[in-house]
Structure 1
Amino acid sequence: MKLKYTAAWVGFTAAAMVAVSACGSEGVKKAVDVADRTDAIMAALARATDRTEDLGSAEVKVSTATTGAAPISMEGTYSWGGGYAFDVEMDTKAAQMQQLQHAPTTRMLFVDGAYYYDVDPQPSGPLKGKEWMRIDASAVFGEKGAKAFNGAGGGSPAASMKGLKYAKNVEDLGKETVDGRSTTHYRARLDQAQLGKFKDAYGEKDTLSGAITGGASSMTMDVWVGGDNLPVRLKQEIGAMTVTMDFEKFGRTAVVKAPPAAETGDLTEVVKDATGKQ
């Protein structure tokens, strides 16, 4: 069975202090002004980070776009209070899953370090008579990258917000209305030196995630924070991939369970083998 795997989204973001060097009293004053603005931005983002982490889940709408491919839209629940997990419905055609699922949307889970796809039972092969397809994160990010991805909280909003401290620079882009809500728009950039262990997950071109992102050497994150100190929208640019996440509401930690093993066909090794031959 020939598989074309096109799912992988992430979330991690960044923000940090801006260093300014200048000569003379005017330069010193400008440096102080910049430092004051940066401190104010960091304080606002710290409040948003704390609130996001305290809340255990969120109902979200997600769009993932890569160069030369149609965006993949998803909608559902992201949970992080008891470990990173999600339960979403994604567009079957955009994800190129029509060979395995005839319905217009495909349910996808991420739990315990693996992706699960609700598919039509197949007449033969590893998915014969199975309702679910399992692919371990190591098939997407590589063994080392999967450990980095899972250890950092994966693509959860909480992990994204906690990564703010690693950026080289951060900007306050002012007030904007998003989904009818008043927000403050911040932008942060993370270059290769600040990628840390995320470089293992997204920067290696010989992994599936690296092929999708083009081997990310930098990341840019935009976050729109509402008056309740919670993110309204997160947008990450990771190499050739752009992920936009809109938050409908936050709530308590949601429980996401893996499907029964008897109903699941594991294609981890198939995907690893296919990736190695590309």
Structure 2
Amino acid sequence: MAGTGTRALGATAVALVLTAGLAACSDGEDKAESPSKKDKATTGASESQVVRAAHRKTAAADTARMTVDTRAAAAGESVTVRGAGVMDLEDGDSRMTLTAQGQKVEQRVLDGVVYQKPPAEQRKQLQLPGNKTWMKIDPARLNGSGGAGGQVSDPAESFAYTKGVDDRDVTKVGTETIDGARTTHYRVKVDVAALAEGDRAKAQQLREQLGTSSLPLDMWLDDEGRLRQETVRLTLRPQSGEGQKSRQVTSTTTLRFSDFGTEADIEEPAAGDTVDVTDKLAREAQSPGTA
């Protein structure tokens, strides 16, 4: 993390955790099918009804395997992050391994709190106390810390975008096969205010950081109306403050689900092997030197 661009993408220990939710782009390997075919999910239902029901129908599957492929850029530099693991679709807990720049980080998310286990060499550089191997980051405590919360990666946040779909603007793109499952591709918009779940202050903060009141979202739904893939493109603008302008991050995010109902045991790391770095992240986010 020698350059300012790299520091902008991952200001400290979370160099592999980028933007508001995991960012990625589609691998482009899916084969398009004839757009004239109609899938079962849309039979007897309007397109807006189908996309509005997607989050509920997906969560009803309880668990799934997931993959994430991330590309984010800031200050002229870019980082690609790939991840694979499992998610509890109902409560949002997840377990996955993230890979970027040849480094692997084990990550767990429980009750919205992120736990990460960096590689041994990085732990040595970070000088974690007591030779501890896990870091704890609480995004809720990072709110208002110059956008620091946007560097913490929780795939459940990307999945939650589907709850804010504005069904007044739905475009059916066509059909594609993803991981052997036929899907229907929809292009929709997500209401930023809906993501704030009634919190006006949070909604305003999101509008300022994103510079818009709605986000473009691509959704691929299978024949049962479940989300198989979503792609979201973001431009994350830090809150106003000294040295913040250079830390704008752009990203494209694809989250993919498969193997619904798979076993997903997700446990919190041992407290004695964990150090809370939330305050450290907040301080560095406020420091002009990390911009």
Q: TM-score, normalised by structure 1?
A: 0.68
In the TM superposition, what whole-angstrom CA distance separates every residue of 1:56-90 from its partner, at most 9, and x where no partner exists? 12101111222341221100012133x22111101
- Structure 2 gaps of 5+ residues are 1-10, 23-44, 150-154, 236-249
Look up the SS of the partner of 1:258 in the other structure. coil
Q: Provide the aligned length of Structure 1 versus Structure 2.
A: 229
Q: 1: CA distance between counterparts of 2:89 and 2:13?
A: 28
Alignment of 1:190-205 (within 5 A): 190=190, 196-197=196-197, 200=202, 203=206
Partner amino acid, structure 1, of 2:184? T
Identity %: 23
Structure (1 or 2) with the greater strand fraction: 2
Q: Which residue of 2 aligns with 1:185?
A: 185
**Shift in alpha-carbon separation, 1:48–1:218, aligned structure 2, 3 A:** closer
Q: Which residue of 2 aligns with 1:33?
A: none
In the TM superposition, what whole-angstrom CA distance separates every residue of 1:148-206 from its partner, at most 9, and x where no partner exists? xxxxx95263x333222x4551111122233343211101113666664588377377x
Q: Offset at 1:228?
A: 2.6
Highest Rg: 1 or 2? 1
| Matched-pair contact (CA < 8 Å) for 2:81–2:99 | yes
**Shift in alpha-carbon separation, 1:156–1:242, aligned structure 2, 3 A:** closer
Corresponding residue to 2:257 among 237, 240, 247: 247
| Matched-pair contact (CA < 8 Å) for 1:224–1:234 | yes
- Structure 1 gaps of 5+ residues are 12-38, 95-103, 148-152
Q: Which residue of 1 aligns with 2:132?
A: 130
Look up the SS of the partner of 1:251 in the other structure. coil
Partner amino acid, structure 2, of 1:256? I
Q: 2: CA distance between counterparts of 1:47 and 1:55?
A: 13
Q: TM-score, normalised by structure 2?
A: 0.65
Q: Offset at 1:252?
A: 5.8
Partner amino acid, structure 2, of 1:89? T
Q: Which residue of 1 aligns with 2:72?
A: 66
Corresponding residue to 2:60 among 29, 54, 57: 54
Q: 2: CA distance between counterparts of 1:204 and 1:3?
A: 26
Q: Which residue of 2 aligns with 1:76?
A: 85
Q: 2: CA distance between counterparts of 1:124 and 1:189?
A: 40
| Matched-pair contact (CA < 8 Å) for 1:52–1:161 | no
Moved beyond 6 Å, runs of 4+: none
Q: CA RMSD in A?
A: 3.6
**Shift in alpha-carbon separation, 1:193–1:204, aligned structure 2, 3 A:** closer
Corresponding residue to 1:93 among 90, 101, 118: 101
| Matched-pair contact (CA < 8 Å) for 2:142–2:278 | no
**Shift in alpha-carbon separation, 1:108–1:170, aligned structure 2, 3 A:** same
